[in-house]
């Protein structure tokens, strides 16, 4: 397959189509809108469902309805829209109905702006709605990775009967990169054994998140928690760069990790044995691999486009063993490699011994 130039948002849309998405429901919001516009053209062309909903609230409940029929359904939005979708996400989680959602994050709080941001980290990993659940959150750093993760997302969603959220910052949605698109997958003909299709020749099925009895709701929650633990144990994904001999680790996700990688390279040239740890799953957080690297480290630098969100997960793993510094920019200001390098140098002097290669 030839590599072609694709804009992030449109590449995500085409990857979803090729992954067998049968229905898309969404609402325009920058910097995600090209995804919706692409679907508006592409889905009807293939005889599949596209609908611009009256709001993100309606969009996610349309996804919920379509997903109840056992089809691969998705939506996409950006931060303020995700806030509105939380109600639906909670119901989807409570009834274990699978779907895929894209969040092309922008700056907040409030209307904020349309600049790239990573400030939905808490929202997506910790508080995607009321009740006890976590979506599986994937954070691609390149357009190619976004395509590949999207292509596998429905298997994850249906396999685990979970929400899968692809979290990209505005940069990822807007940038053009060469991409190798995966082949078009045939649509699934079989519907899962929980799908609502009309009770023809079988007993009726019910999809609900309601358990009026305390013991029953606890039981359903415990089942959900057991599943989440299993996901946490098996789904942690990450990528490393120069990690093997690193004394100092930069931790960053999404496009920030690409900037951090340049900084790590530069730091290496300056004699600092730096490495990069890039979580691919934000939930479950790749704690085990990070823990495995910890003993060799003298310091950690977390870089994010937010006020310091993922850094809490990193501190949970690293604890007080070595200093954990944070460099963050908000509101669409993008961290620069030389800034990161300077922070690394600070970290080295703080932790006392510069490990020279």
Partner 1 sequence: METIYRRPALLADLPTHYCPGCGHGTVHRLVAETIEGLGIGSRTICVAPVGCAVLAYKYFVLDCCVAAHGRAPAMATGLKRVLPDRVVFTYQGDGDLASIGGNEILHAALRGEPITVIFVNNGVYGMTGGQMAPTTPLGMRTTSSPLGREPRQQGYPIQLPELLATLPGVAYAARRSTHSVAEIRRARQAIERAFTAQLRGLGLGIVELLGACPTNWQVSPGEALEFIQQVMLPVYPLGEFKVAAELGA
The residues that touch partner 1, with contacts defined as CB under 8 A, are 22-23, 25, 49, 51, 53-55, 57-59, 61-69, 71, 73, 87-88, 91, 95, 196-201, 204-210
Q: How far is the CB of 133 from partner 1 (least distance, A)?
A: 15
For 62, residues 6+ apart whose C-beta sits below 8 A from its C-beta are 23, 25, 51, 53, 73, 75
Token code pair at residue 134: 């976590």
Token code pair at residue 311: 């850094």
CB-CB neighbours of 316 under 10 Å: 12
Q: At what angle do helices 33-45 and 8-18 cross, to 10 degrees?
A: 30
Name the DSSP letter for residue 210.
Answer: -
Specify which residues 276 forms β-bridges with: 241, 250
Q: How far is the CB of 57 from partner 1 (least distance, A)?
A: 7
Residue 154 CA to residue 176 CA, distance in Å, equals 24
Closest CB to partner 1 among 2 and 200?
200
Q: How far is the CB of 147 from partner 1 (least distance, A)?
A: 24
Closest CB to partner 1 among 75 and 306?
75
Residue 121 CA to residue 310 CA, distance in Å, equals 7
Token code pair at residue 225: 């928690």
Residue 106, classified by CB atoms within 10 Å of its CB into exposed (0-12), middle (13-18) or buried (19+), is buried
Closest CB to partner 1 among 36 and 63?
63
Q: How far is the CB of 64 from partner 1 (least distance, A)?
A: 6
Closest CB to partner 1 among 211 and 241?
211
Closest CB to partner 1 among 19 and 23?
23
Q: How far is the CB of 258 from partner 1 (least distance, A)?
A: 36
Q: How far is the CB of 201 from partner 1 (least distance, A)?
A: 7
Closest CB to partner 1 among 47 and 183?
47
Q: How far is the CB of 192 from partner 1 (least distance, A)?
A: 13
Closest CB to partner 1 among 209 and 346?
209
Is residue 73 helix, strand or coil?
Answer: strand
Residue 155, classified by CB atoms within 10 Å of its CB into exposed (0-12), middle (13-18) or buried (19+), is middle
Token code pair at residue 201: 């020749």
């Amino acid at each position: 397959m030839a590599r072609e130039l694709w804009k992030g948002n449109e590449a995500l849309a085409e990857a979803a189509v090729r992954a067998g998405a049968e229905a898309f429901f969404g609402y325009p919001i920058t910097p995600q809108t090209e995804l919706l516009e692409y679907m508006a053209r592409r889905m009807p062309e293939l005889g599949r469902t596209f609908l611009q909903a009256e709001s993100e609230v309606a969009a996610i409940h349309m996804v919920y309805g379509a997903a109840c029929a056992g089809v691969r359904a998705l939506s996409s939005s950006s931060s303020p829209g995700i806030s509105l979708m939380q109600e639906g996400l909670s119901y989807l989680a409570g009834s274990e109905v699978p779907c895929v959602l894209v969040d092309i994050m922008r700056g907040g709080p409030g209307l904020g702006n349309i600049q790239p941001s990573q400030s939905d980290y808490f929202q997506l990993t910790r508080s995607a709605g009321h009740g006890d659940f976590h979506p599986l959150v994937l954070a691609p750093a390149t357009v190619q990775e976004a395509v590949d993760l999207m292509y596998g997302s429905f298997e994850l969603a249906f396999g685990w009967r979970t929400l899968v959220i692809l979290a990209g910052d505005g940069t990822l949605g807007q940038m053009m990169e060469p991409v190798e698109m995966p082949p078009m997958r045939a649509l699934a003909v079989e519907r899962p054994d929980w799908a609502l299709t009309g009770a023809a020749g079988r007993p009726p099925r019910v999809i609900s998140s309601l358990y009026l009895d305390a013991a029953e709701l606890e039981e359903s929650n415990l089942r959900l928690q057991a599943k989440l633990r299993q996901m946490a144990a098996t789904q942690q994904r990450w990528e490393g760069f120069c990690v093997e001999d690193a004394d100092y680790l930069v931790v960053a996700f999404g496009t920030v990790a690409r900037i951090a990688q340049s900084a790590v390279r530069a730091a290496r040239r300056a004699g600092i044995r730096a490495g990069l740890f890039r979580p691919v799953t934000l939930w479950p957080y790749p704690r085990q691999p990070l823990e495995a690297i910890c003993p060799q480290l003298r310091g950690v630098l977390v870089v994010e486009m937010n006020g310091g969100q993922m850094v809490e997960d990193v501190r949970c793993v690293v604890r007080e063993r070595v200093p954990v510094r944070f460099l963050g920019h908000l509101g669409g200001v993008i961290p620069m490699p030389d800034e990161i390098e300077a922070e690394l140098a600070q970290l080295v002097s703080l932790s006392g011994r510069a490990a020279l290669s």
